[in-house]
Chains A and B, each alone.
Chain A
Amino acid sequence: DSGVTQTPKHLITATGQRVTLRCSPRSGDLSVYWYQQSLDQGLQFLIQYYNGEERAKGNILERFSAQQFPDLHSELNLSSLELGDSALYFCASSVVGNSGSTDTQYFGPGTRLTVL
């Protein structure tokens, strides 16, 4: 158990809909990262938040957005869903997230999104 929790575990929805994925980081971790893993693909970095502020952006679509709340949990919002958005979405957390030292990311178990 990494200490990172993600809800829900599975989500099935229809095209055009909007969903929210939730992540609670490990206790004490200030950074949260979101990744997408599509079939046979590596983990694609989407976005990182540090202590409530957006820190880094990856290949995140404009239809997707995220935020980190004062209690440090984070939500990833996916809207106008398309079939190609079906994937595993992982959240990870780390202590700092912008350090030259080894700042290990701890991953949650993921949310499997299926868009029909």
Chain B
Amino acid sequence: DQQVKQNSPSLSVQEGRISILNCDYTNSMFDYFLWYKKYPAEGPTFLISISSIKDKNEDGRFTVFLNKSAKHLSLHIVPSQPGDSAVYFCAARSFSGTYKYIFGTGTRLKVLA
């Protein structure tokens, strides 16, 4: 049972345009959401996060939007740069005695120069 889903395995975007990566979840008890970026041969690196009590968080070119009623999370990258080409994972945190993080399967973003 995949509680966090990234339905688009890949996405190609032209340099300078907006990249929108999507993530859907099923558990309404998730309290915290994160995006990680992963380059080949490296581990994932934290990018941006959002608490479930907010609907938007911005950090430079990266903005995460949370729509709790739709159980939907999105990451916007504006403007996209070739260096943004990577696999992006969304993750959600649940608490049942301890905190656990559940990751999606990732979306491979390719930014074309």
> A residues engaging B (CB < 8 A)?
2, 4, 33, 35, 40-45, 48, 55-56, 58, 90, 92, 97-99, 102-110
Contacts and interface: CB of A to CB of B under 8 A. Distances in A.
B100 A110 contact: no
B105 A42 contact: yes
Contact of B98 (A98, A102, A104): A98
Contacts of A33: 101
A98 B32 CA distance: 13
Q: Which among A43, A97, A108 has the greatest number of chain B C-beta atoms within 10 A? A: A43
B27 to A, nearest CB: 14
Interface residues of B, number: 25
Q: Which among A92, A105, A110 has the greatest number of chain B C-beta atoms within 10 A? A: A105
A99 B43 CA distance: 23
Nearest to A97: B99
A90 B44 contact: yes
A109 B49 CA distance: 21
Nearest to A33: B101
A74 B103 CA distance: 22
Contact of B101 (A4, A40, A45, A98): A45
B43 A92 contact: yes
B53 to A, nearest CB: 12
Contacts of B42: 109
Given A55-B98, A56-B98, A102-B32, A42 B103 contact: yes
A109 B99 contact: no
B43 A109 contact: yes
B4 to A, nearest CB: 7
